[in-house]
Chain A
Amino acid sequence: GENVEQHPSTLSVQEGDSAVIKCTYSDSASNYFPWYKQELGKRPQLIIDIRSNVGEKKDQRIAVTLNKTAKHFSLHITETQPEDSAVYFCAASGGGTSYGKLTFGQGTILTVHP
């Protein structure tokens, strides 16, 4: 089955700096790569996703890049703000009969210091 590795496990930045979280996946058939954000005490929520036919996607201060050849994808947050502090999870899923089953990475605790 799919295996997703996520790094780093913790990331501490100053407000205004950029943050990058990286993930690798093992199944070359995976074709959908979402990122979820979980604030303290709350449920995970989708913040951005990318499909395998796209190399990069942006939404305001966040962007995701995908390298299918190397089987890795990254989340980039620019101009970080204290409200970006949360746990971030990457995930991967294949098409076909996977029914949208997501395999998640281990999570990254991002702390943005004012």
Chain B
Amino acid sequence: DVKVTQSSRYLVKRTGEKVFLECVQDMDHENMFWYRQDPGLGLRLIYFSYDVKMKEKGDIPEGYSVSREKKERFSLILESASTNQTSMYLCASSEQVPSGANVLTFGAGSRLTVL
């Protein structure tokens, strides 16, 4: 029944390492999103994609990049991890609805700790 799958639930990395977070959805959704969740700050959008190979910056893209080579897969990349990127990362997907009233289906989250 799992519809949005994030490859890693828990990761521990060292400062400066390159980190890949993978997300796969099986609902044939056009839109995919990466959010970061921190206590007191809510969910902040890092990047989103509305089609294969298309990407748009969200509100906090600095220090991150993304890749969408296939419709079902959206990857978040930390080129050089830093301690302030320690957080919970949530992937989500949605259909493309013209009105913008899109319902997000979230993954279980990936908790990243950078030492």
Contacts and interface: CB of A to CB of B under 8 A. Distances in A.
Nearest to B94: A100
A34 B33 CA distance: 16
Interface string B61-104: 00000000000000000000000000000100010111111111
Interface in A22-67: 31-32, 34, 36, 42-46, 49, 51
Contacts of A114: none
Contacts of B43: 44, 89, 91, 104, 107
Nearest to A31: B100
B83 to A, nearest CB: 22
A93 B96 CA distance: 13
Given A31-B99, A99-B31, A106 B40 contact: yes
Interface SS, B side: loop
Contacts of B103: 34, 46, 49
Contacts of B97: 100
Interface in B42-76: 42-45, 48, 50, 56, 58-59
20 contacts: A31-B101, A32-B99, A32-B102, A34-B103, A44-B106, A51-B101, A93-B100, A93-B101, A93-B102, A94-B100, A95-B99, A99-B96, A100-B94, A100-B96, A100-B101, A101-B58, A103-B45, A103-B59, A104-B35, A106-B40
Given A89-B42, A100-B102, A102-B45, 15 more contacts: A31-B101, A32-B100, A43-B106, A44-B43, A44-B106, A89-B43, A91-B43, A99-B96, A100-B101, A100-B104, A101-B33, A102-B102, A103-B45, A105-B42, A107-B40
